[in-house]
Structure 1
Amino acid sequence: MLHAEVAILGAGAAGLSLAHRLSHPAPLGRRVTAVLLDAPPGPLRPPRRTWCFWEAGDGPYDDAVTAAWRRLRVHDPTGRPTEDDIAPLRYKMLRSDDFACHVDHALAQSDDVRRLEAAVETVRGDADGAEILARTDDGRPVTVHARWVFDSRPLARLPAARTTLLQHFHGWFVRTDRPAFDPGTAMLMDFRVPQPPQGLAFGYLLPTDRHRALVEYTEFSHAVLPRRAYDEALRRYTDDTLRLGGFEVTETETGVIPMTDARFARRAAPSVFRIGAAGGATRPSTGYTFSAVQRQTRAVAEALHADRHPLPPPAHSARSRAMDAVMLRALDSGRVDGAAFFARLFAQVPMRRLLRFLDGETRLHEDLSVGIRTPVLPMLRSAAELPWLPRTPRHGP
């Protein structure tokens, strides 16, 4: 049996971030032993993915960042562009393989945190600690005992909610024959794509140089599409809207992110906590998760190093969650046109303020200044009916 003060389950963004922070104790903080359990290659291991976030100046993971942008652009459905400089913020692109290598390098130099490749089968927790039963790729059983467990694995089922939409996307990493991209500007939302009967759709473009970019097609709706539908939408976007000419697809990525006003439990047992998307880190209004993961794991690591109780804090404030619930209800009910809604916000609110708003860093008067740029009557009607709507479980994926 292995013993450690902390066991971290899952090596996605949250698990890797917490392991990285525990491998670097503060000068006056006590050392914490930890085991990071990552599933062997296969269906239980998270697929490769790209995380994007914004922060001011240099950050702890800049060595692993693929690209960063100070200028962002949004196109409304008519094609009218809105472009802004978000300095001192920068919009950063971090690929999961690069992040894992960055964390592995830190763990290799740490005597406190070790990584173990094993699939977790059961977790039994009580007030005194938890026992994790896992199995290696060759079938060997492994038992880990820890005082605290932080579980970042995806939930088997979403909690009951009043509104749940899915943000689902498919992306191509492309290399063009001609210089087709401006590497200084990222396309955050491009609503020139055809809009579905319900929900909204947009293109997303992150150029890494004049010839290379990640191009994605994204929808907010209730159900994912067949794979061929994403490829057809991307082909129309790259050919008819972006007019890229000849290009090669070098890699692809696919994802589904729940956008929900569900209440995520941060404690699964007296000594077992949930972090990351499983602990409510995904922002319901946008699907962004990485920045909230950093806030959560920073607070947990600081508590552990200070020998305090390490309950993860809420990833988003109550005010942010309430505003997101109203927006989701307004979109789901069809009271607001999603493409026009987001395009109007980016056109009327400085992008730096809007990004701070989406990160929950704005004050009440700034939130109100954003709110009055939305369709006020539909939003008020959605807010008024929310307390009367039942929370129901979502069936299916």
Structure 2
Amino acid sequence: MHASPVDVDLALVGGGGAASLVLAALDRHRVSGLRVAVVDPVHKRGQDRTWAFWGVPGTDLDPLLSASWSRVDVVTAAGRRVLPLAPLRYAMLRSAPVYDRAAEAERRLGAVRIGAPAGELTDDGERVTVADPTGRLLVRADWVLDSRPRPPRRPGRTSWLQHFRGWWLEAARPTFDPQRAVLMDFRTPQPARGVSFGYVLPVSDRYALVEYTEFSPAPLSDPAYDAALRGYAALLGLDLTALTVREVENGVIPMTDGPFPGRPSPRVVRLGTAGGATRPSTGFTFSAMLRQADQVAAALAAGRPPVPAPAYPGRHLWMDAVALRALDRGHVDGVEFFERLFDRNPPERVLRFLDGVTSPAEDLAVMRSSPLLPMTGAVLGDAVGRLRARLRRDPTPTPVPQVGSRAGDQAGS
């Protein structure tokens, strides 16, 4: 704890996954001479979460991975579809090696760690002051990267959650196929409003993460998650009496078309979910956090402001808003929606779309794979909702972003 305020070039407020990736990226880009502070009451260590993502092999994350797969399964009541992912791969990254790498980067950068909670950020356009909740000044910085969780700037027209519980299961004898990961298994009982699925990420033939996930408006109770996991294990033919639950993972991630501004003031930049890194239609976050970190580090290495690009194009945020509305209002069946997505598009296109890196032409192909009439109704409903919201804020409405429009590419930043 520092008795007097620290003056730095860059302050990271929040020390979780987003900040850890930034620290590692600053080290990787060999950013030197930068005065850095990390403000967080907790110094993250050990295994507290698991990220699963897809990308091209051969990155600096490879040595940190617990496992990776060149193909994955998508399962419905109609059968099992095996998706070859080349040139991509699906990968599992646990938090401990990420935190370890961040700690090493922090040491090499000579960063100052302030073990206190951050309160108000005051940005005068030239410098930002970071105070604790009592108002005591902690840091003065040229730039602040704030990754603390927060709600959207205003409530979304549709607000769901990705919520889940996973068991790390250990077997005494070979039980899992380490070459076969299950991306989505929709044989789970479906909620009245939403969509559920299980998945399996095997690290070895005796150790795997088995998880139950829902996209729906509200989380479940602890007994309900456990019952869902027991049911899914039974679907997989797993004998839980012969398995040991080594770890339990829980999570709740927002899925909403509410806006998360990436730059709330001139010298404050938000990262992670607070900065729009969570994909509204799926809750996926890690790949966008990784992009944000790399863009921040590259900008600082080049002497530019550490402001990443919007996590997703505006047209993708519009498509997500329409998809969320269609699912929420029951215009489309959730299982059918995802089944058609994987059935009518190459796996690489689907995964790149979910990461927010497809072209407008690819986006149109993805849209054509969805049920036309129900989605048209959702488009019209979304347009009316946008117009009503705009009229409440501003008597002069502006057009709804269109797929492929360049103007839409900057929306929602």
- Fold equivalence (TM over 0.5): yes
Cα distance per residue 1:148-200 (max 9 Å; x no partner): 00100000566321111111101100012432211112111001111111111
Over the matched positions of the two proteins, sequence identity in percent amounts to 43
Quote the Cα distance in structure 1 between the aligned partners of 2:28 and 2:362. 36
Quote the Cα distance in structure 1 between the aligned partners of 2:143 and 2:214. 38
Q: Secondary structure at the match of 1:120?
A: coil
Aligned with 1:383 (options 379, 382, 390): 379
Aligned with 2:145 (options 143, 146, 150): 150
Quote the Cα distance in structure 1 between the aligned partners of 2:57 and 2:46. 29
8 Å contact from structure 1 (residues 176, 244) kept in 2: no
- Cα distance, 1:79 vs structure 2: 4.5
Quote the Cα distance in structure 1 between the aligned partners of 2:36 and 2:231. 48
- Cα distance, 1:213 vs structure 2: 0.6
- Cα distance, 1:64 vs structure 2: 1.8
Matched residue, 2:205: 210
Matched residue, 2:270: 274
Matched residue, 2:86: 87
Cα distance per residue 1:233-252 (max 9 Å; x no partner): 1011112x011122110000
Quote the Cα distance in structure 2 between the aligned partners of 1:134 and 1:25. 31
- What aligned pairs does 1:75-224 form with structure 2 within 5 A after superposition? 75-76=75-76, 78-111=77-110, 113-134=111-132, 143-155=138-150, 159-224=154-219
Matched residue, 2:409: none
Quote the Cα distance in structure 1 between the aligned partners of 2:220 and 2:301. 45
8 Å contact from structure 1 (residues 168, 257) kept in 2: yes
Quote the Cα distance in structure 1 between the aligned partners of 2:48 and 2:115. 17
The question of 1:229 aligning with 2:224 is answered yes
Quote the Cα distance in structure 1 between the aligned partners of 2:28 and 2:370. 43
Cα distance per residue 1:111-165 (max 9 Å; x no partner): 3x34333221332221111111248xxx9x6621101001000005663211111
Cα distance per residue 1:304-338 (max 9 Å; x no partner): 22222333321000111111111111101101000
Alpha carbons of 1:365 and 1:40: their partners in 2 closer, same or farther (altered >3 Å)?
closer
- Cα distance, 1:220 vs structure 2: 0.9
Quote the Cα distance in structure 1 between the aligned partners of 2:359 and 2:26. 31
- TM-score under structure 1 length normalisation: 0.90
Instruction: Letter of the 1:94 partner, please give it.
Output: L
- Cα distance, 1:103 vs structure 2: 1.6
- Cα distance, 1:46 vs structure 2: 12
- What aligned pairs does 1:1-397 form with structure 2 within 5 A after superposition? 1-26=5-30, 31-40=33-42, 48-76=48-76, 78-111=77-110, 113-134=111-132, 143-155=138-150, 159-239=154-234, 241-245=235-239, 246-389=242-385, 390=388
Quote the Cα distance in structure 1 between the aligned partners of 2:300 and 2:139. 19
Quote the Cα distance in structure 2 between the aligned partners of 1:25 and 1:190. 39
Matched residue, 1:395: none
Quote the Cα distance in structure 1 between the aligned partners of 2:245 and 2:305. 48
Q: Secondary structure at the match of 1:180?
A: coil
Q: Secondary structure at the match of 1:235?
A: helix
Greater strand proportion: 1
Cα distance per residue 1:336-371 (max 9 Å; x no partner): 000121122212222112111212222222222222
Whose relative contact order is higher, 1 or 2, with alpha carbons under 8 Å and at least 6 apart?
Answer: 1
**Count of matched residue pairs:** 381
8 Å contact from structure 1 (residues 23, 106) kept in 2: yes
Q: Which runs of 5+ in 2 are unaligned?
A: 391-413
Moved more, 377-386 or 149-158: 149-158
